Structure 1
Amino acid sequence: MNLENLSLSQDSLVEYMVTMNYSSSYIMAIQREIRWLLKNKNSHKWITYEEALQDRAFACDKKNFTNKKTLFTVIRRFEEDSVYPNRTRHPEGNTTPQELNAEFKKMAVAFEAMETQRSLKFVTVTKNNRCFRSFLQHLQSRGCERACDVTEADSISYFRDKNGAVLRGYTAKRIISHALTLLEKTGFSECKRLSALIPLIKYHHKNTQFLTDDEIAKILHALKDKEGNLSLRDRAIGFLLVYTGMRASDISSLRLEDIDWHNGKIHCIQQKTGVPLNLPLLPVIGNAIYDYLDKERPQSSCDYLFLNSFSAEGLAPVSICSISYVIYKASCVRNAKGDRKGTHIFRHHLVTALLSNGTDQATISQTVGHSCPDSLTPYLHADIENLRKCALDISQFPIRREGC
């Protein structure tokens, strides 16, 4: 830990993050932690960044501690190892992962290749591959040189400790099972037996708040009210969120040429997956965008569709999220403490609305730009109208009435 070195080199870190299009809020968070470290370096006798983190995160809740830990990891890797951030999570400390033997390495490489072909985001491919490699490294550390050497105890020990406490949960189990299923189909016959050795881990479904029809009606009323407080830019972004369910990153990256006025289409490359997305330019969206371009958009050589009102530069995804908060406030919805907000809830509403109307899943996936059919699974849990049809009548069950 050399804070003098950090003080001298911090500008290059910020410059790199700006060049790599990191969000302004994330860059400011990194700068804030660096300022805190430099300000308090004389009043503390830190030897490692872990010690500094403990002081910084004192009295933080679990979520804030995790955020601080992530920021400190980025700073530590930059200052100590001269490694710039690359949007992926890294193992703690400086330990080098155990090198896989020939058979396990072949399995890991084959899985990574298949994941890459699925048009997944680079970060997702990296996360899945790291999880599977971690599983193989664990098996190897227990003396398994080949897949046929793995026992049920070896597999379970990756997910549970000796006392049965959970080490890794459903997400790790899902990724590893998925990897073994893919490998089995490509000739790794022993993976079928390995799949059977993976312990059963229950999926704990978390109830997700969703936009109700009444809330959508209020939002649309606010968007259509030209005498209201919403700017023309915010109205256009609001209509895109409601009717297309586009991600904030995709809206912020829209360029003027992406609006095909002649054919009534919106063309863009999804920032998350890199897959092209083609959507109909609905009249209500087209009219809102035209009003913004004609009456409000600043004069600028920048070719991004939506610009910052002050700098005449393109908006960051976090700015789209901030605009959604303005829309909620103008619509008088989602203003209570703890209410779920943000832009993804619009995407969630669109998918569940299409499901409720009987739209087939292939069409829905094409509409929202999903390249993997499994991506719709979380939305199926929120199809309230159809789930109500599955409810059981409990009137015939003996239930004690209140007061009896």
Structure 2
Amino acid sequence: MQQVAQPMLCELKDQLFLQLDANQYSEFYKYYFRIRFVALEKFMSQNGLTDYSDEVGKSFLENYRRTKNVSQSTMYALNSFINRLNDINDGHGFIPRHFKGDQISLSTDFNEATGNYISSCQERGNVQTTLNWKTGKCTYFCFLVQQLGCESLGQLTASLATKACLQIKNKDAWRCVREFLQFLCEKGYTNRDFSYVVPKAPKKVVLPSVYSTEEIRKIESSVDTSSVAGKRNLCILLLASRLAMRSGDIVKLSFSEVDFCNGRINYMQEKTGRLQSLPILPEVRNALKNYINNGRPDSVEDRIFLRLEAPYRSLTTAAVRDVVNVCMKKGGVEPNGRRHGPHIFRSSVATSMVNEGVSYEVVRRILGHKDPNVVQHYAALDVNNLRNCALQAPEPTGYLKDLLEGRAVL
């Protein structure tokens, strides 16, 4: 293997741990990195390497994948380790892998365009939560374009826009990026409308995706509450499956909104901006207290649900989506063409209530919808009432009658 002049691994190791200390990462996290450094040092020694390069990191990962029987999650963690090491080696410093939009550094050109786009969205009546979401998605898109070598919007090409879009894993963000690109062309930031290169997410299913009570139980039962992650994840699942809370409201739930004394959760809904009050069911109460008292990291953060590793920031909706998907897989619940993610609990709760004869108005209030017609979406799966609408099949005639009575064959 050809070597190039690069810092020795011990130098990179010292730099990386200094950055971990500066960003207040836990001792457990640093211990994990020390273990990975031992494996990397062994690999380099066996191959006669003293200097580290990105190519050495790539070879290490390929060798580990080929010679070790490891899980996908372990390989993902190893990739994260090598990415951090490469960031230091390439002179980028320490790049947080979980960052918010306001932590991304953009050039003046990109910042101005993004700010003007958000202002136009505000003028159209977008609420603050939507504006925050669009800011994050557009900022991340601009960040990706900059990383690809585009220094100003005037240099943007269809190829660069395509490459940036393909790095965006959240398909819901594509719609926002498409609108942003149209805005850039309308305002003269770009010489062409590149919105046509943005992939289109699959059309949403008309009928709500519903999971049975047994499937919901399997998802919940897959959680191992002996771990900190399990204690937290069970709370998240129960808030979604028992109280039909949206993932955005779950991650923003704060201590001030949970009233254990009166048995209520009172919070302002992120989507509608309306106050919602829900009862704390016994299983929800027990799960919350178990996580808060026995699992939650020691933090001054007011939001209840935090990341497992330092820095202990509040969770994102993407993390909630991952929790649900992992638990579905562990519980052996297959989507089989249905949607999968936190929203399945809301649709399943709503459909269950409708089938049990609960009025649409009551269901609407529990789900926190403003539009009284929205809940009628679940009428499509109102089995009992749909049975009353069933029509009697007409008597067979002609060839069909002869076929059924054995006087004709296919």
Q: TM-score, normalised by structure 1?
A: 0.56
**Alignment pair present for 1:283 and 2:389:** no
Equivalent position of 2:238 in the other structure: 239
Deviation at 1:286, TM superposition (A): 0.7
Aligned-partner residue type, residue 319 of structure 2: S
Equivalent position of 1:249 in the other structure: 248
Query: What is the alpha-carbon distance in structure 1 between the residues aligned to residue 317 and residue 135 of structure 2?
Result: 10
Equivalent position of 2:353 in the other structure: 354
Range with bigger deviation, 365-374 or 205-214? 205-214
Is the partner of 1:381 in helix, strand or coil?
Answer: helix
Deviation at 1:349, TM superposition (A): 0.7
Equivalent position of 1:218 in the other structure: 218
Equivalent position of 1:209 in the other structure: 209
**Alignment pair present for 1:36 and 2:148:** yes
Cα distance, 1:284–1:403 mapped onto 2, change above 3 Å: farther
Identity of aligned residues (%): 24
Deviation at 1:57, TM superposition (A): 7.5
Deviation at 1:29, TM superposition (A): 4.2
Deviation at 1:363, TM superposition (A): 1.7
**Alignment pair present for 1:390 and 2:389:** yes
Cα distance, 1:15–1:287 mapped onto 2, change above 3 Å: farther
Equivalent position of 1:127 in the other structure: none
Q: Cα deviations across residues 280-306 of structure 1 (Å, max 9, x unaligned)? A: 000100100111101111111110011
Deviation at 1:82, TM superposition (A): 9.9
| Kept after mapping to 2: 8 A contact 1:230/1:330 | no
Aligned-partner residue type, residue 247 of structure 1: R
Q: Cα deviations across residues 110-162 of structure 1 (Å, max 9, x unaligned)? A: xxxxxxxxxxxxxxxxxxxxxxxxxxxxxxxxxxxxxxxxxxxxxxxxxxxxx
| Kept after mapping to 2: 8 A contact 1:304/1:314 | yes
| Kept after mapping to 1: 8 A contact 2:208/2:378 | no
Is the partner of 2:267 in helix, strand or coil?
Answer: strand
Equivalent position of 1:366 in the other structure: 365
Q: Cα deviations across residues 154-181 of structure 1 (Å, max 9, x unaligned)? A: xxxxxxxxxxxxxxxxxxxxxxxxxxxx
Query: What is the alpha-carbon distance in structure 1 between the residues aligned to residue 345 and residue 229 of structure 2?
Result: 18
Deviation at 1:278, TM superposition (A): 0.1
The residue correspondences of 1:67-216 to structure 2 (distance < 5 A) are 70-71=176-177, 73-74=179-180, 77=183, 81=187, 206-216=206-216
| Kept after mapping to 1: 8 A contact 2:325/2:340 | yes
Query: What is the alpha-carbon distance in structure 1 between the residues aligned to residue 180 and residue 281 of structure 2?
Result: 43
Is the partner of 1:333 in helix, strand or coil?
Answer: coil
Deviation at 1:72, TM superposition (A): 5.7
Deviation at 1:327, TM superposition (A): 2.0
Cα distance, 1:72–1:395 mapped onto 2, change above 3 Å: closer
Aligned-partner residue type, residue 265 of structure 2: I
Query: What is the alpha-carbon distance in structure 2 between the residues aligned to residue 289 and residue 243 of structure 1?
Result: 13
Cα distance, 1:65–1:269 mapped onto 2, change above 3 Å: closer
Equivalent position of 1:312 in the other structure: 312
Query: What is the alpha-carbon distance in structure 1 between the residues aligned to residue 260 and residue 172 of structure 2?
Result: 45
Cα distance, 1:276–1:290 mapped onto 2, change above 3 Å: same
Aligned-partner residue type, residue 287 of structure 1: N
| Kept after mapping to 2: 8 A contact 1:57/1:65 | no
| Kept after mapping to 2: 8 A contact 1:352/1:383 | yes
**Alignment pair present for 1:260 and 2:259:** yes
Q: Cα deviations across residues 337-368 of structure 1 (Å, max 9, x unaligned)? A: x4410111110011111111111222212211
What's the Cα RMSD here? Answer: 4.3
**Structure of larger gyration radius:** 2
| Kept after mapping to 2: 8 A contact 1:23/1:317 | no
Deviation at 1:7, TM superposition (A): 4.8
Deviation at 1:231, TM superposition (A): 1.2
Equivalent position of 1:334 in the other structure: 334
| Kept after mapping to 2: 8 A contact 1:252/1:315 | yes
| Kept after mapping to 2: 8 A contact 1:30/1:75 | no
| Kept after mapping to 2: 8 A contact 1:57/1:68 | no
Cα distance, 1:300–1:362 mapped onto 2, change above 3 Å: same
Is the partner of 1:231 in helix, strand or coil?
Answer: helix
Range with bigger deviation, 66-75 or 380-389? 66-75
Q: How many residues align?
A: 271
The residue correspondences of 1:10-25 to structure 2 (distance < 5 A) are 10=110, 21-22=132-133
Aligned-partner residue type, residue 332 of structure 1: G
Equivalent position of 1:299 in the other structure: 298
Is the partner of 1:300 in helix, strand or coil?
Answer: coil
Query: What is the alpha-carbon distance in structure 2 between the residues aligned to residue 67 and residue 234 of structure 1?
Result: 25
Aligned-partner residue type, residue 214 of structure 1: E
Cα distance, 1:386–1:214 mapped onto 2, change above 3 Å: farther
Query: What is the alpha-carbon distance in structure 2 between the residues aligned to residue 79 and residue 47 of structure 1?
Result: 10
Equivalent position of 1:56 in the other structure: 162
